[in-house]
Amino acid sequence: MASPGRIELDKLSVEQLKGLKEQTDLEVNLLQDSLTKIRTATTRLESASAALHDLSLRPHGKKMLVPLTASLYVPGSLDDAENVLVDVGTGYFIEVTTLVSIV
Could you tell me the residue ranges of all domains in the chain?
12-97
pLDDT, tens digit only, all 103 positions of the chain? 455 678 888 888 999 999 999 999 999 999 999 999 999 989 988 887 787 777 777 777 888 888 777 788 899 888 877 787 877 778 788 888 876 555 4
What b/e sequence results for 69-93 when a residue is b if at least 16 CB atoms lie within 10 Å of its CB, and e otherwise?
eeeeeeeeeeeebeebebeeeeeee
Reported pTM: 0.57
Beta bridge partners of 37: none
Q: Which CATH number fits domain 12-97: 3.60.15.10, 1.10.287.370, 2.40.340.10, 2.30.30.100?
A: 1.10.287.370
Q: How far is CA 29 from CA 23, 32, 33, 43, in A?
A: 10, 5, 6, 21
